[in-house]
Structures are given as structure tokens and as C-alpha cells.
Amino acid sequence: MTLSINSRMLIAAGIILFGFLGLTGVTLERSFYANSEEAFKERLPVHLNALIASAEMDESGGIQLVYALPEPRFFTEYSGLYAKIIANNGLVVWSSPSMNGMTIPVSQGLERGVTRYQKMTTSMAEPVLVYSLGMTWGDKQQFKDGYTFVVAESLERFKQQQRAFRQSLWGWLAGVTLVLLLMLTLILRWGLAPLRKVAEDLRDIETGRNLRLQGNYPKELRGLTENLNALIRTSNEQEERYQASLGDLAHSLKTPLSVLRGAVEASQPSAESLQSSIEEQVARMDQIVQYQLQRAATSGRTALMAPVDLAAMTDKIIRALNKVYADKGVVCRAEVEDGLAFRCQEGDVMELLGNLLDNAYKWAEGQVELNIRRDSSVESTEPGLIMEIADDGPGIDAKDVDTVLARGGRADSQVGGYGLGLAMVRDIVALYGGKLSISRAGLGGARIQLWLPCD
């Protein structure tokens, strides 16, 4: 099953979020543990210093407390804070009332100034952290005259703090994670709403409720939606052209079919005249069919088309026409602006240039001129492309312009052809939103100028 974009982004963001917050939680927990343990350890020397400050040697050589310890827990039974003083001969000379009936297996007989931290368990199964310091009293420097001062504190409270912090930390992180996922879901839903709108509009087009994408889309999707609309419009126009071409084809074939029927039904037609009529009308029908097919297939210009190299296309057409009209010796001077390309169907530009140059070669006495350039005139409101074809033939009178642009129209019926070339050019130019004009050329013949919009 293919996941939606929303699901993919939500899963990816969730994984990153869980990983980041999980790593943050572990880091905070370890940092709190280290800091709290360090603070816990730092309290024990404070208690021990208070114990040493309160202790004095009595006349019998024993140890007694002359000042009350500032921490009352030393005097509360099983309070979790314990202290005792052990002589290096193993005798406990003093222990806090909080240790009533309790023993802690601490190390004894520490050298003077030696300190030690130890984790132990009391005789009542209570885990404690023990801090011990070895020292001697007064002028007595012998080891046997030394004492070990011991302070111990229960680890239960420390562990309770750890558990409380852990529960609070992960509880808050879980809550933050849920809130962030909810916000992320809402943001993704809002951010991907234009894509859902595109999908809904496409479904409306499929069901026939709309003919194009009509939403107000953000700029990131505007290129996509405009190209889709152009593609839909082109498809609809092409379907309309196919339908129109079928009707035109049926209408156009009526005349040559009637001629053929008349030739067949004529009384005693000669074989030569019948063959001539058949060949002529079959050729005419073939030309009509080819024209209608070309007209139906012409798609117009869209942003999805690849640009066509006009210089290469022009060179190919001129080489072909030089072979066809080799006996006339026509010289064609072609000027195409460097690097000029036109975004269109290759067949469309082939049809445009092919028909116009073929007409120019056909009517020219010996010279044909072709110029293709960008429209750089001041009057132009949008970028365009200009194609000019001129010849030194008889030209086209102004009164005949409409005739030669109509399908089947010919200014001179003595010249071969069916009058479809310029009509096809006119239709293609109109399909691309361009303009066509016919005038008198400087060479004396016809000058046909095309203007086509381009990037």
C-alpha cells in the first residue's frame, strides 16, 4: 500500500521528534543524576565537619560532644542520617542516637587525613552512602591514638528524588510530544490543503462537473496547475478539431465523389478521360484527407513542449526544396537569428515553413528570401517571433488575399495544386495565437509575414 504524502511526512517527523525528545530526556536524566549525586556527596563533609567541631577529648582520654549537632536528624531514631566515632583500636567511642540498635560495617583505622566514600547496607537493610575521615587528636600523632569519624546518609531519599524527577521528566516529554504531533498534524493538513484541492478539482473534471482547474493555488503549484489547464485545454481543442475535421472531410469529399460518380455514369466515357478524372479526383481526395489529418493533429503551443531549433529546421526544408525545384535554379537566402528556438510541435513549424517556402519556390522567378528573428519592435506588448518569406514572382494582389487564404482558393487556376497550403498556414497561426499578413515584397513578388508569440 502506498502511503500518502501527509502520512509519510507525519511518520518521518514523528520518528525525528521521538528520537530528539528521547535523547533530550536521557541527557537531562543523566545530568540530573550526576548533579544530585554530587550535591548529595557534598553534604556529608559538611555534617562531618560539624561533628569534628563538636567533639572534644575528655580527661579520661575519651571523646565527647561539647556542642549539639546542628542537624536534628542525628538525634531522631532511624532518621536516615547517622554518625559515629571509632578509635583505631576498634572501640566505638561515640555514635548518634539515630543509630540505636543499628550497625554499619564501615572501614576503620584510616590514616590521618585519609577520606573515603563507600556505599553500604546497614544491619537493617538500608542502603547508605558513608563518608569517613581518619584523624588524630592534639599532639598525639601515633596511629594507635587515631580515630575514624564516620557520617552516613540513607540513599532512599536520593533514590526517591531520582524516581520523582524521572516520572516528571518523561511525563512532561510525553505530553510535549503529543502536543507537537497534534500541531504537526494540523500544520501538515493546512500545508497540504492545496494539493487536496488540486485532487478534488481533477475529480470534478473527470466527472464532468468542471472543465478546468479553478482554484486559487499557491505559487509553488501555479506552474503545475497552469500546465494542467493548458494540457486539458489543448486536449479539448484537439477533440473539437477532430470532430470539425471529420465534418469538413465529409463535406470536402462530396465534390470529388460527385465528379467520379458523374464520370462513371456518363454515357460511353473514354478510357483516357475516365482514367484522367479518376487520377485527378483521387489525388485531390488524398490531398484533402492529408490536410484534414494535419489540421486535426495540430495541437498548438503549450509550456510542456520542447523548443524547436529553427535554424536546423529551416536548413532541412531548404535542402529538400532545392532538390525538388532543381530545374528552376532558385536561390534562397535564409537569415535565422542565432540561438533562436520556438516552443511548439515540430510538425507544426515544419508545416508552416514547408508550405510557405514551397509556394515561394513554386512562384519565384529565381530568388527567395527567408528571415526569422525575434520581434524587437517598440510596439510589441509581448515577446514574439517574426517569420518573413518573400519571392520575385508575380505576387498576390490585395483583392486575392482572402481567396488564397480560403481552403481550395487559388489566384491562378493554371498552376498545379489544390489551394490548401496557405489555408493550413492560416489555421496553424491562428491556433498559436499569431498573426498573418500578405503584402508586396521588395523583390517584386509576395511577402508573407507571420508573427507568433514566444518566450
Q: Amino acid letter at 125?
A: A
Q: What is the DSSP letter of 112?
A: T
Q: Residue range 296-316: average pLDDT?
A: 73
Question: Per CATH, is 307-453 categorized as 3.30.565.10?
Answer: yes
- What is the band of 403 on the pLDDT scale with cuts at 50, 70, 90? confident
- What is the band of 432 on the pLDDT scale with cuts at 50, 70, 90? confident
Whether 332 contacts 369, CB under 8 Å? yes
pLDDT recorded at residue 1: 63
Pairing of strands 92-95, 81-87: antiparallel
Does residue 302 have a pLDDT over 90?
Answer: no
- What is the band of 27 on the pLDDT scale with cuts at 50, 70, 90? very high
pTM score: 0.49
Extract the C-alpha cell encoding 84.
559515629
Does residue 414 have a pLDDT over 50?
Answer: no
Does residue 270 have a pLDDT over 60?
Answer: yes
Task: List the beta strands (DSSP E) in 43-80.
Answer: 55-57, 63-65
Tell me how long the chain is.
455
- What is the band of 418 on the pLDDT scale with cuts at 50, 70, 90? very low
pLDDT recorded at residue 400: 76
Give 366's contacts (C-beta < 8 A, 6+ positions apart): 328, 329, 330, 331, 392
Does residue 151 have a pLDDT over 90?
Answer: yes
Q: What is the pLDDT of residues 247-262, one digit of tens each?
A: 656 655 766 676 677 7
Extract the C-alpha cell encoding 15.
520518528
Rounded CA-CA distance 433/343 in Å is 13
Q: What is the pLDDT of residues 32-70, one digit of tens each?
A: 888 888 888 888 999 999 988 888 877 666 677 777 788
Query: Between 445 and 252, whose confidence is greater?
Result: 445
Query: Between 291 and 238, whose confidence is greater?
Result: 238
Query: Span 28-161: which CATH code?
Result: 3.30.450
Whether 328 contacts 358, CB under 8 Å? no
Whether 21 contacts 173, CB under 8 Å? yes
- What is the band of 413 on the pLDDT scale with cuts at 50, 70, 90? very low
Distances from the Cα of 44 to the Cαs of 125, 133, 152, 174, 399, in angstroms?
A: 20, 11, 7, 36, 117
Sheet with 384-391, side-by-side order of all strands = 331-336, 367-374, 384-391, 446-453, 435-440
Q: Residue range 70-79: average pLDDT?
A: 88
